[in-house]
Amino acid sequence: MPLAVHLLGLGIFAQGTSEFMLAGLLPNVAADLGVSIPDAGLLVSAFAIGMVIGAPVLAVGTLRLPRRTALVTFQLVFLAGHVVGALAPGYAVCSRRGSSAPSRTRASGRWPPRRR
């Protein structure tokens, strides 16, 4: 099989598991970021919302681009986003690296923080 097929499979595997893997690590992520487990769970929701909204929009928006160029560009953006998330010093960076509606609503003061 060509190398491109293996790379495509690896990219799809990484995208498919990145959201689900985080769900099992929520207690560790919450402790590392210094937030509650439900707040860390908002990162999973934000990722899912971004995928649900972004995928169709990007599919239609890139119809005129060469497929290979679009695929490589999106894979690089996906990789860069995960590197930023892995190296993030705190929750604010993680919650703002995508278009997280819950975190932006909370930051704007319309959604009060949870009491502990």
User: How is residue 5 written in tokens?
Assistant: 């097929």
Residue 34: left if φ>0, alpha if ψ -120 to 50, beta else—which one? left
**CA–CA distance, 73 with 54 (Å, rounded to integer):** 14
Confidence of residue 89 (pLDDT cuts 50, 70, 90): confident
pLDDT tens digits along 45-82 = 887 888 889 889 988 988 898 988 888 888 888 888 87
Confidence of residue 96 (pLDDT cuts 50, 70, 90): low
pTM: 0.62
Can you give the pLDDT at residue 95?
A: 66
